[in-house]
Amino acid sequence: MAKITPFLWFDNNAEEAVNFYTSVFKNSKIGTVHRYGDAGPGPKGTVMTASFTIDGLEFTALNGGPAFKFNESISFVVHCKDQAEVDHYWEKLTSNGGKEVECGWLKDKFGLSWQIVPDALFELLGDKNPLKSQKVMQAMLQMKKIDVAKLKQAAEQ
């Protein structure tokens, strides 16, 4: 077990979220699931906590009720090797009620924020020519989903 594990608070749909996240990412699995019993406080048989792994990173989900909601102060960055990976994660995580935000950010249907970032963005922003990196930044600021071809085009203008 990792020393630090992200712990995600859901109202009452932790099981749905765990199933969703493990279907989106390769090398993912559901671990231990604890369900509420007669003592509650949740309905008997519903998930209390569930551990799951997304591509090697362990998480725990809790059905804790409506007291807390996700916000943009916490997000998960998905590093993508190419445009195909960006497109895959963007499509999956914005499906069924997810929302495109800007600059590679999105919110999934549970309200959790993600940053879907191609490796090329960091490479282009790190160019030794500050004018090129500035052009790439300006192009990225106009995007919702990051478009690698448009970033490269901006760098060459």
Do 49 and 81 fall into the same domain? no
| CATH code for the domain in which residue 36 is found | 3.30.720.100
Do 150 and 80 fall into the same domain? yes
pLDDT exceeds 80 at position 48: yes
Do 115 and 153 fall into the same domain? yes
- Show the domain range for 41: 1-68
| CATH code for the domain in which residue 143 is found | 3.10.180.10
Number of domains in the chain: 2
pLDDT, tens digit, 9 for 90 and up, residues 108-142: 999 999 999 999 999 999 999 999 999 999 999 99
Residue/partner pairs of 81-88 with CB below 8 Å, 24 or more apart: 81/118, 81/119, 82/118, 82/119, 82/120, 82/148, 83/118, 83/147, 83/148, 83/149, 85/118, 86/116, 86/117, 86/118, 86/145, 86/146, 86/148, 87/145
Q: What is the pTM of this model?
A: 0.93
